[in-house]
Amino acid sequence: MAPPLTPFSLSLLTLLGLLTSGALSTTFTMVNKCEYTVWPGILSNAGIPPLPTTGFALQKSETKTLTAPASWGGRFWGRTLCTHDSTGKFSCVTGDCGSGKLECSGSGAAPPATLAEFTLDGDGGLDFFDVSLVDGYNLPMLVVPQGGTGTNCTNTGCVVDLNGVCPSELKVTSAAGSEGVACKSACEAFQQPQYCCSGAYATPDTCKPSSYSQIFKNACPHAYSYAYDDKTSTFTCANADYTITFCPSPNTSQKASQGQSTQPAQTSNSPEINSTMVYEGSDDGSEAWSSSTSVHVFSSHAAAAAVSVTVAVWQLWQHLF
């Protein structure tokens, strides 16, 4: 007869259960392809513990990888034009989280800001994610799932520089007032219920796209353009990691002051956002995403889990017998 379970063996059984149920961590790799520094901000959803960092600097061409636990949910965004004042207070012209420090520490982005939103291990064990322009736009962003599976597991984002084509009534300019650095949503600009999907417009039947949200949607058809834009803007994956790239295309990496403005339409030189999309501007093609890469990464996840399960079983067997 086997001896009674001890706290040690219970811990091993818990680990084994987590591993066999697929409760693995998810990695987020953040890449800055802009021609300037971006300061990513991170906010966990209500009731979800924060990640080890909630804000940091990402220099031009720099990459940083974060690990999130299973069932994490929250949002990422890029802050731009950030400085410390004479008292040491940290602030940004766009995407500022108001903490006065590099870390956002539980504060979200002041609109307008391009957002990447995630709910990991949600309904059916799927990750739900989107790129949202509901709170406006400040810089191009692309989310690419790596190694995931599912019929709606594909890339999404807004790779167009909307600051160059933003209507004047929505435009946010630099301190000098000479360049557009962000583009407000109509809700933020006008505070009207028909634009904010509030009051009498608080349902999908009553809140419809506006001429302003259509500017965003035409430029970035896979991004959320208003509150009830779910059908074309929410994506799902199982067992995926994610790469979040700021300024994914060369023609969106320049500041407006450098004369880089684009029309809000996809061209043959812009990366296509679908299951065969590759990063534009990759020197060696290493950032292209293909089915063979998906299989490789998924297999790596499975192999790591199998090794961990084997070790846990062996340790439990040794302890019990």
What domains, with CATH codes, occur in the chain? 26-287 (2.60.110.10)
Whole-angstrom distance, CA of residue 129 vs CA of residue 120: 8
**pTM value?**
0.74
Residue type, 156: T
Please state, in angstroms and as integers, the Cα–Cα distance from residue 17 to each residue in 22, 69, 309, 321, following that order.
Answer: 9, 15, 9, 20
Q: What is the pLDDT of residue 3?
A: 52
Q: What is the pLDDT of residue 92?
A: 97
**Mean per-residue pLDDT for 263-287?**
34
Q: What is the pLDDT of residue 205?
A: 95
Whole-angstrom distance, CA of residue 266 vs CA of residue 140: 13
Q: Residue 50: is it exposed, middle or buried by C-beta count within 10 angstroms (0-12/13-18/19+)? A: middle
pLDDT top residue among 306 and 64: 64
Decide if pLDDT at 321 tops 60: no
Residue type, 152: N
Residue type, 183: C
SS3 of 198-222? CHHHCCCCCCCCCHHHHHHHHHCCC
Q: Provide the pLDDT confidence category of residue 319 given band limits of 50, 70 and 90.
A: low
Tokens of 163: 């600051």
Query: Could you give the count of Cα atoms lying within 13 Å of 192 in the half-sphere of its Cβ?
Result: 9
Which of 24-28, 285-289, 296-300, 305-309 has maximum average pLDDT? 24-28
What confidence tens digit (pLDDT) does each residue in 100-110 have? Answer: 999 999 999 99
**Residues, the chain, total?**
321
What confidence tens digit (pLDDT) does each residue in 274-283 have? Answer: 332 322 233 3
Average pLDDT, the chain: 79
Q: What share of the chain has pLDDT > 70, as a percent?
A: 70
Cβ atoms of 117 and 130 within 8 Å: the answer is yes
Q: Provide the pLDDT confidence category of residue 249 given band limits of 50, 70 and 90.
A: confident
Whole-angstrom distance, CA of residue 249 vs CA of residue 141: 9
Q: Residue 292: is it exposed, middle or buried by C-beta count within 10 angstroms (0-12/13-18/19+)? A: exposed
What confidence tens digit (pLDDT) does each residue in 190-220 have? Answer: 999 999 999 999 999 999 999 999 999 999 9
* DSSP assignments along 40-92, one per residue: EEEEEPTTSPPPS-SB--B-TT-EEEEEE-TT-EEEEEEEEEEEE-TT--EEE
